[in-house]
Structure 1
Amino acid sequence: MAQLTIRGLPEEVDRALRAQAARHGRSMEAEVRLILRQALILPTETPMGEAMAAIWRQSGITDEEQAFLEGTRDRRAHEPMSFE
């Protein structure tokens, strides 16, 4: 396994990293490993629009049915809820 030394880490980054590691119950080293792994290795989340398009494709719904369903949405502007 490789080792990494980071020089010149700003004080505020060091403090934030230590605090985050403590909140998660991990060592600072383990926290850095996880952060790097999540940033570089794990797949990123799919944007909402792409996820919804994939669901439409997988459902087998036709383009005409999709157009009909999209046309049935209420597109009127709504007033925000009042809590008074």
Structure 2
Amino acid sequence: MARKITYKYKNQRKEINFAYDVYHDMYEAIAAEEGIDLTNYLAMEQQIAMTSKGGAAVKDFRTKEFARFGFSDIYFVKDDPHTNE
């Protein structure tokens, strides 16, 4: 089942389709959509995950880095089951 992600990139609202068989998470999908290379980011995220206890440090790093890239308001769009699209 395809999902949609909505986000702001440099204060411009955008919406894209998302599927887990293509991307690991929504952050990788929006970075790919905007042409951002995540090689260094993913290496640092992995290091933080290995050295920190719990997921709070990784989540904080992700939030701050994607804000630095120019992203904000990132979330999945909830489908209304009562609409026939």
Smaller-chain TM-score range?
under 0.3
- More strand per residue: 2
* TM-score of the aligned structures, taking structure 2 as reference length: 0.23
> Of the two, which has the highest radius of gyration?
1
Q: Point out which structure has higher relative CO (alpha carbons under 8 A, 6+ apart).
A: 2
* TM-score of the aligned structures, taking structure 1 as reference length: 0.23
